[in-house]
């Protein structure tokens, strides 16, 4: 008696087709980058994409200065005066902006990893925003006669997760990250001697 279940090679073909459905592309997807299966639901809101983030990171990596030179102790010295310190800060921020960006991101990552409650708060925010955004795709969300845009949805998700962020001490974490970033970047930019090209550029500037 035939049970109707796929057997042998037919079973393998059937499994392959099911797996393909998970990652199949579909131009009709709202973002134009989604799929027809389960993975199609994991797309980002309009205006956000993994490729954009990757492109931004790649640009930063290309423009980053060698870390060995960045922390070379022989290149550090006390500024001669306040004017010299200001010149160093301005030029070094221009020269090492990509390095400083990764330091800032590293401090944020450290702060998040070292605070389990902050991780939970971020998960609540992400979950709330994801649910709200999915609801807006099923039917337009209207509040006080106005349709909720993506920024409005993020604001609503933030309001929902605000108590969790408060319990996690997010305010203190933000101030810690900003303070640590300003201290690290400010100290490096003030005491790092300028590169030769920057010195020549300063000497060529009209007084």
- Residue pair 96/189 in contact by the 8 Å Cβ criterion: yes
Rounded to whole angstroms, the Cα distance separating 131 from 114 reads: 27
CA atoms in the 13 A half-sphere facing the CB of 60: 16
Rounded to whole angstroms, the Cα distance separating 89 from 169 reads: 32
| Count, residues in the chain | 207
pTM score: 0.59
Cβ neighbours for 184, distance < 8 A, ≥ 6 positions apart: 103, 107
**87-129 per-position pLDDT tens digit:** 999 999 988 999 999 999 899 899 888 888 888 888 888 888 8
**32-87 per-position pLDDT tens digit:** 444 444 334 444 555 556 777 777 777 877 788 889 989 999 999 999 999 999 99
Maximum Cα–Cα distance across the chain: 97
Rounded to whole angstroms, the Cα distance separating 170 from 123 reads: 13
Rounded to whole angstroms, the Cα distance separating 189 from 93 reads: 7
- Residue pair 191/78 in contact by the 8 Å Cβ criterion: yes
């Amino acid at each position: 008696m035939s049970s109707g279940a796929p057997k042998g090679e037919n079973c393998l073909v059937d499994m392959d087709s099911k797996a393909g459905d998970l990652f199949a592309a579909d131009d009709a997807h709202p973002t134009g980058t989604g799929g027809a299966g389960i993975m199609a639901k994991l797309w980002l809101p309009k205006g956000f994409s993994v490729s954009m983030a990757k492109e931004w990171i790649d640009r930063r990596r290309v423009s980053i200065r060698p870390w060995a030179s960045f922390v070379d102790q022989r290149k550090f010295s006390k500024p001669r005066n306040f004017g010299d310190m200001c010149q160093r800060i301005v030029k070094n921020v221009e020269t090492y902006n990509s390095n400083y960006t990764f330091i800032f991101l590293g401090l944020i990552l450290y702060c998040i990893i070292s605070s389990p409650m902050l991780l939970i708060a971020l998960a609540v925010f992400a979950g709330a925003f994801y649910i709200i955004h999915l609801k807006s795709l099923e039917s337009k969300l209207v509040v006080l006669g106005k349709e909720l845009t993506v920024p409005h949805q993020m604001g609503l998700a933030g309001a929902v997760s605000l108590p969790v962020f408060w319990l996690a001490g997010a305010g203190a974490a933000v101030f810690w990250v900003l303070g640590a970033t300003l201290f690290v970047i400010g100290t490096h930019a003030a005491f790092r001697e300028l590169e030769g090209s920057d010195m020549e550029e300063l000497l060529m500037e009209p007084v």
